[in-house]
Amino acid sequence: SQQGEEDPQALSIQEGENATMNCSYKTSINNLQWYRQNSGRGLVHLILIRSNEREKHSGRLRVTLDTSKKSSSLLITASRAADTASYFCSRGSTLGRLYFGRGTQLTVWP
Amino acid sequence: AAGVIQSPRHLIKEKRETATLKCYPIPRHDTVYWYQQGPGQDPQFLISFYEKMQSDKGSIPDRFSAQQFSDYHSELNMSSLELGDSALYFCASSSTRTEQFFGPGTRLTVL
């Protein structure tokens, strides 16, 4: 992957549980963005965290960033069946192109 | 709110044929990006345009070309199609070069 690695590659949980996905990257960043993709559909922007930020919240989403470890994590609290999707982290370049990780396939069982 | 529009949504072509994919960005967005996502793969950047000029180029085959028109819509032209070109092709638009808004994608199948 151009971006780095995400783990786990697949995560299966029950509704109401929390889901944590991790992302590592290889080079310095201006920002890190998380996207969701329902099967075969378009990518939906979830949250952007800048390199000078350590944590960011949006509804049930919490993103952390550790630039010293070149890693980020996405936490989805109180998951729902509708959260079932692939989740990608991406690093943005100065010209705007996004480098995506391989993604985590999250399955939330009712 | 208006979103990115891509057409067609599905396209089936034979090997060695040509395909044209269209993208209509969100109004007032000046930058368009194209990505290719193979089966089970992460999206890979192809090319981008800012104010109708090519601004960045990624791993786009020489058989592919693209442009952005005066109304800011963009077209991706793919010639001499190969089986390996079968993929989802996404267009994204942006006004800030940070947050990108993705279209629903065009699923290209090459037989």
Each residue of A26-66: pLDDT tens digit?
A: 888 888 999 999 987 889 999 999 999 999 999 999 999 99
Give the pLDDT band (50/70/90) at residue A92: confident
Mean pLDDT of B13-28: 97
Give the pLDDT band (50/70/90) at residue A2: low
What does the pLDDT look like over B41-85, one tens digit per residue? 889 999 999 999 999 999 899 999 999 999 999 999 999 999 999
B72 touches chain A (CB under 8 A): no
| Closest alpha carbon to A84 in A60, A106, A104, A102 | A106
B36 touches chain A (CB under 8 A): no
Contact yes or no for A96 and B100 at CB 8 A: yes
Give the pLDDT band (50/70/90) at residue A4: low
Three-state DSSP state, A82? helix
Residue A82's φ and ψ, nearest 5 degrees, are -70, -10
Chain B CB contacts of A95 below 8 Å: 48, 55-56, 97
| Interface test with chain A among B45, B60, B89, B107, by most A beta carbons within 10 Å | B45
Higher-scoring residue by pLDDT: A30, B104: B104
pLDDT of A1 above 60: no
Closest alpha carbon within chain B to A89 = B42
> Is-contact A92 A3, C-beta < 8 A?
no
By percentage, how much of chain B surpasses pLDDT 90?
Answer: 88
Enter the tokens of residue A101: 């990780």
Enter the tokens of residue A32: 């890190």
Contact yes or no for A95 and B43 at CB 8 A: no
